[in-house]
Structure 1
Amino acid sequence: MAFDFGFLFVSLLLSCFVATSYGVTFSSLNHTLIVTASPKTGQVLKAGEDNITVTWSFNQTFPVGTDSTYKTVKVKLCYAPISQKDRKWRKTNDLLKKDKTCLQKIVAKPYTASNNSFTWTVAKDVPTGTYFVRAYTFNAQDVEVAYGQTTDAKKTTDLFDVQAITGRSTSLDIASVCFSAFSVVALAGFFYMEKSKAKSSVKK
């Protein structure tokens, strides 16, 4: 009997270890959230300037109580497949702790089933690319249990673009032109002075 109890204990311990080691997979999550975002398909947003309004709610077609374990919601900006190609640091992985699809946090809030909305100014550090929005729900242990997204399962519909900050501005361009013009004038003045000195030396 003692052996049976010990075997059961070890089995439970191993199960916990395996669950901790492997973590939660995206394919295991329930798609119970309806998520929408304000950008239209193909719209180009400027990082640091334009806004995205995201709304989300529980899909009422699921049985009552399905969302009883939901405690928080985290909304994220996610790369579309076209912006992941040949970029391993953005690679999709079914194991969520290794997944790089959604790297940009938009907002985190306590979970409520309806009337959820948030307006976010696209962060200045968001790179140029094609995106969609995804929301994850978490339980009391801060583990993902469900999700919703603005695109289809293949991530090909309702996508929008973000244009990153280039680092150049109008004032910088003007300063650059003025500096270039000053350099030309200074160089011309230098040659004129040198030429004048040369003439003076010849006269002497």
Structure 2
Amino acid sequence: MARCLSLAVALVALVGYAAATGNIEDQQPTSYTQLAPVKGQWDITLKATKTADKAAFEPVDCAEPKISAACNKPLLTADAKDKLQVTAALKGKTLKTIDDLTPKRVVIKACYSKPSATDRPWRKSNDVIDKDKSCPFVIKSTELNVSSTSYSIDWPIPKNMTKAAWYATVLVLCENGTLNSYCQFDNTVNKTYFGTNIINSTPTSMIIATAVCASIGPLFLASYFIKDFMGRKKQ
């Protein structure tokens, strides 16, 4: 018992020391608040296929986070084979990171707007990046190229993307010892949002099969109880 108590005290002391040193490696995962001092270094632009021509991208210029906003129309869908084009361009020649860590990777994500996440705990935002549920889609993840100041991708809207308004977030990963920690970020909050919709593309045959199974199930259950009841009655 005494040995366990001593071990617990030692662990508490170690955690306290790590927190006091302010070492990012001991504070995994990183939070958005920690990265605030180095925010504002990316120009993030969005374009989308909003016409019948799915090879033509038009600028997305909507500062309204509500899905019902007129500037979000038309809504993008997987059924229409829509694509989102995201470009993240550095404003300067070099990227400044927290604690001057060396950037290794760029990750671009699609995140729910605040109205689209309200009253939905499974979409809840969190200041701790690795606990943030509001950014479920990784649009691009690539090694940072020191000779490049711009990253772009044409991203097909996935079939499991729900009806919502979204913004884009750019995260930078730095290697810190044996761990990778977030060391910089930017997003299009209050600047640019895009909207997506769900179109019911379930095959008719699947709908019929589901209806048949749903109707047969109760009949089997009822017959089982009748048979069981009659068997007990005969006993």
Do Structure 1 and Structure 2 share a fold, with TM-score over 0.5?
yes
Counterpart pick for 1:66 among 60, 73, 96: 96
Q: Are 2:90 and 2:150, in contact at CA under 8 Å, matched by a contact in 1?
A: no
TM-score, structure 2 as length reference:
0.59
SS of alignment partner, residue 92 of structure 1? coil
CA offsets 1:10-31 (integer angstroms, 9 cap, x no match): 6588407996466311111121
- Residue 148 (structure 1) aligns with: 186
Counterpart pick for 1:28 among 26, 30, 34: 34
Change (3 A) 1:150 1:21: closer
- Residue 125 (structure 2) aligns with: 92
For 2:44 and 2:110, the matched residues in 1 are separated by 12
For 1:139 and 1:21, the matched residues in 2 are separated by 14
- Residue 133 (structure 1) aligns with: 168
Change (3 A) 1:98 1:12: closer
Counterpart pick for 1:55 among 87, 91, 103: 87
SS of alignment partner, residue 158 of structure 1? coil
For 1:22 and 1:64, the matched residues in 2 are separated by 25
For 2:138 and 2:197, the matched residues in 1 are separated by 18
- Please tell me the residue identity of whatever aligns with 2:123: R
For 2:142 and 2:136, the matched residues in 1 are separated by 17
- Residue 15 (structure 1) aligns with: 18
Q: Are 1:22 and 1:95, in contact at CA under 8 Å, matched by a contact in 2?
A: no
SS of alignment partner, residue 45 of structure 1? coil
| Shift of residue 58, structure 1, vs aligned partner | 2.0
- Please tell me the residue identity of whatever aligns with 1:35: I
SS of alignment partner, residue 143 of structure 1? strand
- Please tell me the residue identity of whatever aligns with 2:30: V
Larger gyration radius, structure 1 or structure 2: 1
| Shift of residue 167, structure 1, vs aligned partner | 3.3
| Shift of residue 64, structure 1, vs aligned partner | 4.7
| Shift of residue 163, structure 1, vs aligned partner | 0.7
SS of alignment partner, residue 166 of structure 1? coil
Change (3 A) 1:165 1:14: farther
For 1:120 and 1:138, the matched residues in 2 are separated by 21
Change (3 A) 1:15 1:114: same
- Residue 201 (structure 2) aligns with: 167
- Structure 2 gap segments, 5+ residues each: 1-9, 49-59, 63-71, 209-235
Over aligned residue pairs, what C-alpha RMSD do you find? 3.0
CA offsets 1:60-95 (integer angstroms, 9 cap, x no match): 1xx856256111011111100011010011111111
- Structure 1 gap segments, 5+ residues each: 1-6, 177-204
CA offsets 1:118-159 (integer angstroms, 9 cap, x no match): 11101111111110111100002321111122233xxxx421
TM-score, structure 1 as length reference:
0.67
SS of alignment partner, residue 123 of structure 1? coil
- Please tell me the residue identity of whatever aligns with 2:42: L
